[in-house]
Chain A
Amino acid sequence: MKYRQIALGTVTGLMLLLCAQSRAQESPIYTRWENFTSANGMPDDKVFQAAVDGKRVWAGTENGLVLIEKGKVQKVYKPEDGLANRVVTGIAVDSASGDVWLATFGGLSRLSGGEFKNYKNLSSGLANDIVYAVAVQGEFVWAATTAGISRLNTRTGEWAIFSEKNAPMHEPWSYGIAVTDKKVYFAVWGGGLLEYDIAGGWWKPYNDPDGEMEIVLFQNQGLLHDIVSNVAYNPQTNMVWASTYFGLSGYDGHNWHNYLSTDSALASDFINAVQSRGDGVWACTDKGLSYLNFKTGEWITYRSAEKGSGGEIVITTADKKVEHRQSNTTLAHNYVLNMTFQGEDIWVATAKGLSHGMREPNHQSNKEGNRNEHKSASR
C-alpha cells in the first residue's frame, strides 16, 4: 500500500513535471514581422521605445511621437504640436488616467486628452531636460535624467530629486526605471542597479562585486557590470533584470543569474534594454533580439540574415543543440533599442524602424486591423 502510494505519487509527479516542462518549453517563435519605417509613415527610422496602450501602440522616435493603430501610423506628434522635444526616448502609459508620459531630450511631456503639458528643468522641479525613461506608479511619475532621478507627485505637484547627493549613486546619470507596487528599480550609468523601497524610503544598491570594468571574475557573484543600460521587473517570477553593455544580469532575491555571449547563446553582451514576462527574458542587443526561456535555458535569437532580405532565427537548447530557421520577414534592424508586449505579439524598437513581431499562424496573434491592407516596409 505504502509502495503503491509512492509509485502513484512518483508517476503523478513525473506527469506534472513533464507537463510543466512541456509548458515551459513552449518558447514563442516569431516568424512574421511587420516593419514601420520612414517608408510607411514613421517620422524617423530610429525608434527608442514602443509602449502598448490597449489596441494602440505608441512609438518614441528621434523625430517625434508616433501613434500606431489598426496596423497603420495614425498620427505623428512633434514639438509644434506641443511635444517637449522631437527626441522621444521613453514612454509610460498611465493605465488609470489614460495619460501618456513621455521622456524626451527636452523634458517630460504628458499627453492627456490630445493635449500636451510639458515639465522642463527651468519651469518645473525636473532635475534635467535630458530624460531617458519615465514610469508611472500610482500618483507618482518617475523620470530618469542625466542629473538624477526625478519624482513628481501628480496630486501635490511636489518634485523630489534623487542623485549622488542623497542616494547611493556613483553619479546621477540614470537610464531606466522599473516600478512595482512596493519597489522602484533604477538603471544607473556607472552606478549599477538601485532599488528604492517606497514605504521605507530607503535605497539598496546592487553593484559589480569585482569592481572590474572589463572582466567578470565570478559569473553569478553579483551584478555583471556597473554600467546598467536598463532594468525590468517580472511580477510573475519576482525577478529583476538588468541589461548592461557587458552582459545580462538577473536577480531573484537570493541569487544572481548572469549571461554572457561567450557562455550562452546571447546574441551580444552589448545590451540596450531588457524586458521580461512569464518564463521569458528578452535582451535587446546590438546584434539582434535574444530571448531566454529562464526555466528551460533555451535561447532564441532573431536577426536579419546576412544575405538576402529574410531573417534568421537561431534556437539554442539548454544542451547546446543549435537549430537555424529562416523567416521571410525579419526585424527592421539588428541594433535593437527596446521592446514591449501586446498580447502574444511583440513590438521591437530598432535603430532603423519599429518591428511588429507575430507568432506562427497556429498561434493566436494580437495583430490589429486587416493585415492584407497594410503595406509593410521592406528591408
Chain B
Amino acid sequence: MSKATWPQMLRVMAGVLVTALAAGWVADGGELQAGTRKADAGYLTPVEAKFSVDGTRLYVVCEDADALLVVDVRTKKVVQRVAVGHKPKDVAQSPSGQRLYVSNEWSDNVTEIDAKTLQVTRTIPAGWGPIGLTTERSGKTLYVANSIGNDVSVIELATGAEKKRLASWRSPHNVLLSRDGRYVFVSNMLGHLGPWDQAPVSELTVIDAEKQIVAQRIQVPGVIELRHVAEGPAAEGDDLIIPFLRPKNLNPLIQVSNGWILTHGILVLHPSRAAKGGYEVAQVLLDDIDAYYAGANGVAFTPDGSRVLVTASEANVVSVIDSVKLKQRIKAVPAEQLANRLDSAATLILKRLETGANPTAVAVSRRGDRAYVVNRLDDSLTVVNLTSTRVEGRIDLGGPKEESTLRKGEKLFHSAKFCFQGQFACVTCHPDNHIDGVSWNLETPELGKDRVANRTLRGIAETAPYKWNGHNPDLETQCGPRIAKFLFHSEGFDKEQLADLVAFIKSIPIPPNRHLAADGQLTLSQERGKNIFFQKNCDNCHPPATHYTALRSFDVGTANKYDTSGMFDVPQLDRIYEKPPYLHNGEALTLEEIWTVFNNEDKHGVTSDMTKEQLNDLIEFLKTL
C-alpha cells in the first residue's frame, strides 16, 4: 500500500467532508428546517384559492401544511383536508372539475386529486419548483410553471408524461389560460438578467395552447414581481391585469423619505387593434401620493368586468377598482407618464378594504356577489360582499390561535407599515425570502455610488456578518437600527418585534438542491469541479463548514470606480444557482462571468490558467452546494 502524503490525505478528507456536507445540507436545509417550522407552529399558511367549477367549493392551497383544504362556500366551513406534496403553491382543475392538480414547489411534482372522493389519484413529476399551473380546454394537457427551472412543463395528462418544456424567463410564477383557450399566460417574478446599472425589464410569457410553443414574450420595462394574472370578460375587452412592483432601484434608496422609491400597481394589457396578437400595455400605480399599498399580488375581475380586486399583501388591504374609470385613466394619461403617476388611484379606486395578514390571492364567486381573500399569515379568508363593497366576515381555516414567535416575525417581515408611508416591507425586496434580482443604491446618497445586488435571506442564520461590506455583526443590527435609519426611515421595530423578526429570518430554510443527486453522488463533471475547487484553494474564502463563506471580507478585485471600498463580505454559496446576478453589485450575470470577465487580475482565485472545460466543471460543482 502506498503511503499518501499529508496534502493528499487532507484533500481526500476535505473531499469526504464536502460531499457529506453537500448531501447533508439537502436534508438539513431542504427538509429538516422546513419541517421544524411546521412542527413549531402548525400553521396552514394558505397561499391560493380557486372556486370549484360548480362554484360551491373553494379549494385553498396551504403551503406550510402541505395540504389542500376544501371549503364549503355556503357553510363557510372547511369540509376536507387533503395531504399533498411539500410546499404546495397553486391548484388547477380539469375543465369538468373532476380532477384537481396541486403544484408542490419543493417536491417538484403535481398531486392529482379526484374532486369527488378527494383522494389522491397520482403524483405527476414536473420541473424544478412548480408553482402556477392550468389545464387547457380539452383537459388533455397541464401547463406547470417551474420557478427554479425557469421553464414551463407541458404534461400529457393521459399518461402523466412531460411532453416538453418551454423556456419561460426568470422565476415563472402564475399561470392563466385565456378564456378562449388559445393562450397560456405565464407571469415571471424576476426581471431579465441585464446591465446592473439599468432598470429591470420583466416578461409575460405567452404560450400558444394549440401549438404548445412560446408565441410571444411581452417585455415590460421598469417593473418586477409580476404575480397573478386575471382576464376581464370579453364584453369588457379581454384585458389582462397583472400586479407588479415598480422599484426605482437606480435612485438612492435613502431617498425613501421623499416617496416614490418603491411603487405598486397593475399592468393592464389590452389586445391591440393595430397588431394582431399584440397588446397595448399600460402601467397603473395603485398607491396614493402619501400612502403606499405594497405587495400587489392577487387579482380578480367580477364576472361582469365592472370591478377589479387587487390585494396589497404587505398592506393587508384589498383594493376595489372601478374598471370603467381604469380605462378612462389609461386613455387620459399618456403611457410614459402613467407608469410614474401617483394620482391614478384617487381616480379609480372605489374602496380599500382591510383584510387579514398578508393577503396573497383573491377569488370572486361565479355570481359575482362575493370575493374571498386568502390571508396567508392569518390562516383565514376574508369574505367581501361585492354588493355593498364591505367586508362581510372571515372564514377561519383552522390554524393555531396563538401566535408563535416565528409567526409574529413572519408577519413583521411581510408588513410595510414600518416603512415611511408604507412603501415597502422586508419581503418586498426579498420575495419568497429570496432576492428581487436587481441592484440597489442602498445607503450612499450619491447617485450610482456603492450599488449592491440583493442577497438572499435563505439559510443566512449562520453567515454573519451581514451586508456586502460586512459591517453588521448580527441580524439584530442589520434589521434593527440600520433598517430603521437607512431603509424604512421610521422608528423601526421595537425590541420584542426585532427579536421576533430576527428569529423568523434565522428560520428561513434553504430549498432542496436540484443539481445534486438524491444520494449525494456527484457526476463526473461535478467530481472534477470539486477537485478544482480545492486545488484552486477556493475553500480558503469559501470553507465548506460555514456554508462556504469565511464569514469575513476580502478584496478580490471586484470593486469598480463606483465603489468606496474593495472589501466585500464573502457570500455563502448555498444554492448559488438560484442567485444570479453575482458579485457585490450584480455585474456578473452568470457564474461564468465571475471569472471570465471580472477576474482579470486573478485576485478572485488564480483562474486565468483554467481551461473552459475546467471552468464548466467548477461551475457544475458549485451548483451542488
Contact = CB atoms under 8 A, between A and B. Distances in A.
A79 interface: no
Contacts of B615: 125
Nearest to B146: A155
Interface in B143-157: 149, 151
Chain B interface mostly helix, strand, loop or mixed?
mixed
B612 A123 contact: no
B590 interface: yes
B597 A154 contact: no
B305 to A, nearest CB: 28
B164 interface: yes
A99 B589 CA distance: 23
B165 interface: yes
A216 interface: no
A1 interface: no
A154 B612 contact: no
A96 B214 CA distance: 10
Interface in B185-215: 203, 205-206, 208, 211, 213-215
Given A112-B214, A139-B165, A158-B620, A122 B592 contact: yes
A97 B213 contact: yes
A108 to B, nearest CB: 14
Report the contact-size class of chain B (Cβ under 8 Å from the partner): 35 or more
B217 interface: yes
Contacts of A124: 590, 592
A123 B593 contact: yes
A341 B311 CA distance: 53
B497 to A, nearest CB: 40
Interface residues of A, number: 30
Given A125-B619, A160-B525, A161-B613, A113 B515 contact: no
Contact of B165 (A155, A158, A159): A155
Contacts of A13: none
Nearest to B597: A122
Nearest to B207: A113
A115 B217 contact: yes
Interface string A162-174: 0101100000000
A161 B214 CA distance: 28
A97 to B, nearest CB: 5
Interface in B584-619: 589-590, 592-593, 596-597, 611-613, 615-616, 619
A356 interface: no
B556 to A, nearest CB: 18
A233 B590 CA distance: 36
B525 A96 contact: no
Given A114-B216, A155-B151, A156-B515, A97 B616 contact: no
A46 B592 CA distance: 34
Contact of B206 (A96, A113, A139): A113
Contacts of A156: 514-515
Interface of B: 127, 149, 151, 163-167, 203, 205-206, 208, 211, 213-217, 219, 514-515, 525, 577, 589-590, 592-593, 596-597, 611-613, 615-616, 619-620
Given A97-B165, A128-B612, 7 more contacts: A99-B213, A113-B215, A123-B590, A155-B149, A155-B151, A158-B620, A159-B616
Interface of A: 96-99, 110, 112-115, 117, 121-125, 127-128, 139, 147, 154-161, 163, 165-166
28 contacts: A97-B164, A98-B214, A98-B215, A99-B213, A99-B214, A113-B206, A113-B216, A113-B217, A114-B216, A114-B217, A121-B596, A122-B597, A123-B589, A125-B612, A125-B616, A128-B612, A139-B165, A147-B612, A154-B167, A155-B127, A155-B149, A156-B514, A157-B577, A158-B620, A159-B616, A160-B525, A161-B613, A165-B613
